[in-house]
């Protein structure tokens, strides 16, 4: 079915500075986890199983419970600070390689994947629990609601199709996109239903920029869309005002006509969600040559006395007895946690020109909605005020039936990881001939006199973060696309240490050493096939999924020069892997055309196999290394790990699996 709000997104053109990718994370993960690992390792760790034993038995390391998603990490307790992280390689050559900044003071920039939990000593565990009280107050989540009025009209013969994008200043003139709303067709007074979530820090000035665009195509990229205006402010200004209205500007000092933007803030304190299943019967016919194209809108009263949009459904075309798909809304968003707060529901006929016609409306509250369930739906008459006033015989304009209304717990990434989920990283390195002869200075595998190349820099920059989140720091590492000894057959999943029974490398330094030693022993060849190594990791993910618990998640990091040759097979491998507890991160090195990688990323739409089968989740994150050569040191690692938390949560939510060990605050 069609939808009145169709999303689109990309880096911003025009008057806004070029963007640098940044994670779209909705939570904070900071450095105490690294020291926690030190304490855990000091308590002793179980020996790593062999590769074959691992494949048969899986991983069963124990985990610790963590705080609620709304809490954050402050300074580490003294008992934990002693852990620290392993130092970088000792070679002088590495002194010039940027390593992600992970200091306590920089906890806000340290948005990455937490470590796999491990057994802690009683002293360390006690220190963690004791430290939570001081950690809990430093950050909270804020939900931003966006609406605009009097937008300038850029479309000929129709109104603009606006979308609002949120950016945050990450230093100097650098801005990074955090989130964006849906697109609303033919509307100069949009009220966006998608809320924008952001972490709020009292002690930091968080500079924000809101940009409104007229979307004329399906591309995620905004460079070819018309800029309708923007505004800069701080999150503190929004929070202190609660509702902030500002004039839109095309550039500083130049108003965007009479356009304004209104931003409302609300603190998110509740992680529960409201899940609803709704249908309607005998709705009024609104279209001259058809029936009606109904959609639903839910509103709650705001502090200012106005009704604030909290959810908008999809459109059901040409149907007077529609059944909308099941949807979920955060409880805080839906009614502010107040089960008796009035909720107004509009049932409306969609028109492509934006002149939607009200079919009818009714008021209720969550307490009433909750009575629905099983074979006992709750019914509401859809009343059109104008018709009711004109016709004495008027009864209603249809019946809306609430088939099901449930309050459910929505678990966060931290809930899963700290509840015992093991995150298993695997690394794959491209050894194909398109990289060039390693002896030539033009080769991506050429090791310069100072001891580095783009592969090594990428391995270290990304791996320096990854190793902090793997308890034993043993990484399976593979190469692909080379002829390997002794038979010189082309392999697309050979162990980097040439030990197929135990392909683990000790830490990132171990991967670096194995890479250096493997380079002169193999012949760069081809083709560049991704599917074998994706399928390799997927086999372990599939075995883990059979356990039926949120115990293990797999992340494959592929570093490549980008000239993929088995695109169709890789598409199928990714579609298959999207059904498994698995994510794929691709870092592209060199100056190749990465269009195939961007296609696999799926940001412009759902990735499909050659047969048309769609991926059930977006599990691929592509990052071109060249965009980060002059970026802040933490930018690459932030972007590489940006999607993993959301992908992990989406998988377990799809399966309906709670964390192995429920956090204390969420136990029944």
Lowest-confidence region among 120-134, 190-204, 348-362, 419-433: 120-134
Lowest-confidence region among 296-300, 469-473, 502-506: 469-473
Contacts of 526 (CB under 8 A, 6+ apart): 432, 433, 434, 481, 490, 565
**Residues 234-256, mean pLDDT to the nearest whole number:** 90
Task: Return d(Cα 243, Cα 202) in angstroms, integer.
Answer: 18
Q: Return the residue matching tokens 């507890």.
A: 581
User: 273-409 is classed in which CATH architecture?
Assistant: Sandwich (2.60)
Residue 468 neighbours by CB distance under 10 Å: 25
Specify the pLDDT at position 470: 65
Specify the pLDDT at position 286: 81
Which residues, in sequence order, are bridge partners of residue 229? 212
CB 583, CB 556: distance < 8 Å: yes
46 pLDDT higher than 70: no
Pick the CATH number of 32-123+421-630+655-661 from 3.40.50.410, 1.10.1030.10, 3.40.50.740, 3.40.190.10: 3.40.50.410
66 pLDDT higher than 70: no
Q: What is the CATH number of domain 140-268?
A: 2.60.40.150
127-163 pLDDT tens trace: 333 333 333 333 578 899 999 999 998 766 678 899 9
254-287 pLDDT tens trace: 999 999 999 998 888 777 899 999 999 999 988 7
Specify the pLDDT at position 195: 93
Which one is predicted more confidently, 97 or 291?
A: 291
- Among 581, 558, 570, smallest CA distance to 609 is for 570
Specify the pLDDT at position 459: 84
643 pLDDT higher than 60: yes
Do 273-409 and 32-123+421-630+655-661 fall under one CATH topology? no
Contacts of 388 (CB under 8 A, 6+ apart): 394
pLDDT band at 638 (very low <50, low <70, confident <90, very high): confident
Lowest-confidence region among 31-35, 141-145, 258-262, 538-542: 31-35
Mean residue pLDDT of the chain comes to 77
Tell me the range of 2-16, 62-76, 539-553, 592-606 where mean pLDDT is highest.
Answer: 539-553
- Among 142, 168, 136, 137, smallest CA distance to 21 is for 168
Specify the pLDDT at position 189: 93
Specify the pLDDT at position 203: 61
**Residues 96-112, mean pLDDT to the nearest whole number:** 31
60 pLDDT higher than 50: no
465-494 pLDDT tens trace: 666 556 678 889 999 999 999 999 999 999
DSSP per position, 527-539 = ----HHHHHHHHH
User: Domain spans of the chain?
Assistant: 32-123+421-630+655-661, 140-268, 273-409
Q: What percent of the chain has pLDDT over 90?
A: 44
Contacts of 129 (CB under 8 A, 6+ apart): none
Specify the pLDDT at position 632: 66
């Amino acid at each position: 079915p069609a939808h009145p709000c169709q999303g689109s997104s990309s880096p911003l053109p025009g008057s806004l500075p070029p963007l640098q990718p940044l994670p779209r994370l909705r939570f904070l993960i900071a450095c105490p986890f690294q020291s926690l690992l030190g304490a855990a390792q000091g308590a002793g760790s179980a020996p790593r199983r062999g590769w074959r034993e691992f494949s048969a038995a899986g991983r069963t390391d124990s985990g610790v419970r963590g705080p609620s998603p709304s809490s954050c990490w402050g300074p580490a307790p003294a008992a934990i600070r002693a852990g620290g992280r392993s130092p970088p390689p000792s070679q002088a050559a590495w002194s010039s390689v940027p390593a992600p900044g992970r200091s306590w003071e920089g906890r806000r920039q340290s948005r990455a994947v937490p470590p796999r939990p491990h057994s802690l000593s009683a002293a360390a565990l006690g220190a963690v629990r004791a430290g939570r009280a001081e950690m809990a107050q430093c950050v909270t989540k804020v939900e931003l609601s966006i609406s605009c009025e009097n937008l300038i009209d850029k479309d000929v013969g129709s109104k603009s199709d606006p979308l609002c994008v949120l950016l945050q200043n990450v230093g100097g003139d650098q801005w990074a996109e955090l989130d964006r709303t849906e697109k609303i067709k033919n509307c100069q007074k949009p009220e966006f239903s998608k809320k924008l979530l952001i972490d709020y820090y009292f002690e930091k000035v968080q500079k924000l920029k809101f940009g409104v665009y007229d979307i004329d195509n399906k591309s995620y990229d905004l460079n070819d869309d018309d800029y309708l205006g923007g505004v800069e402010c701080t999150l503190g200004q929004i929070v202190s005002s609660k509702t902030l209205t500002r004039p839109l500007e095309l550039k500083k000092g130049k108003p965007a006509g009479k356009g304004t933007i209104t931003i409302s803030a609300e603190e998110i304190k509740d992680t529960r969600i409201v899940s609803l299943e709704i249908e309607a019967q005998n709705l009024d016919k609104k279209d001259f040559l058809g029936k009606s194209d109904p959609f639903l809108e839910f509103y709650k009263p705001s502090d200012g006395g106005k009704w604030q949009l909290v959810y908008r459904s999809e459109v059901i075309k040409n149907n007077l007895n529609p059944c909308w798909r099941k949807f979920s809304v955060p409880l805080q968003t839906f009614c502010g946690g107040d089960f008796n707060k009035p909720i107004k529901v509009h049932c409306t006929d969609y028109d492509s020109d934006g002149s939607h016609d009200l079919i009818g409306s009714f008021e209720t509250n969550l307490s009433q909605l909750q009575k629905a369930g099983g074979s006992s739906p709750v019914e509401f008459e859809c009343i059109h005020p104008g018709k009711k006033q004109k016709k004495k015989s008027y009864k209603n304009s249809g019946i809306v039936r609430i088939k099901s209304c449930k309050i459910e717990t929505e678990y966060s990434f931290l809930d899963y990881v700290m509840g015992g989920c093991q995150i298993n990283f695997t690394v794959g390195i491209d050894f194909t001939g398109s990289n060039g002869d390693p002896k030539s200075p033009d080769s991506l595998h050429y090791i310069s006199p100072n001891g580095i190349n783009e592969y090594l820099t990428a391995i270290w920059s990304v791996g320096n973060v990854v190793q902090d989140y793997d308890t034993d720091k043993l990484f399976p590492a593979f190469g692909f696309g080379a002829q390997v000894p002794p038979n010189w057959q082309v392999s697309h999943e050979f162990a980097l240490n040439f030990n197929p029974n135990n392909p683990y490398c000790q830490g990132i330094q171990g991967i670096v050493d194995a890479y250096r030693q493997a380079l002169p022993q193999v012949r760069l060849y081809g083709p560049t096939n991704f599917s074998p190594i994706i399928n390799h990791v997927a086999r372990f993910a599939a075995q883990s999924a059979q356990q039926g618990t949120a115990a293990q998640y797999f992340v494959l990091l592929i570093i490549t020069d980008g000239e993929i040759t088995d695109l169709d097979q890789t598409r199928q491998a990714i579609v298959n892997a999207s059904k498994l507890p698995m994510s794929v991160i691709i870092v592209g090195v060199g100056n190749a055309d990465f269009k195939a990688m961007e296609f696999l990323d799926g940001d412009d739409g759902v990735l499909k196999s050659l047969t048309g089968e769609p991926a059930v989740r977006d599990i691929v994150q592509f990052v071109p290394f060249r965009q980060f050569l002059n970026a802040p040191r933490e930018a690459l690692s932030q972007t590489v790990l940006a999607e993993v938390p959301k992908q992990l949560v989406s998988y377990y939510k799809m399966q309906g699996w709670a964390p192995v060990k429920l956090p204390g605050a969420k136990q029944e």
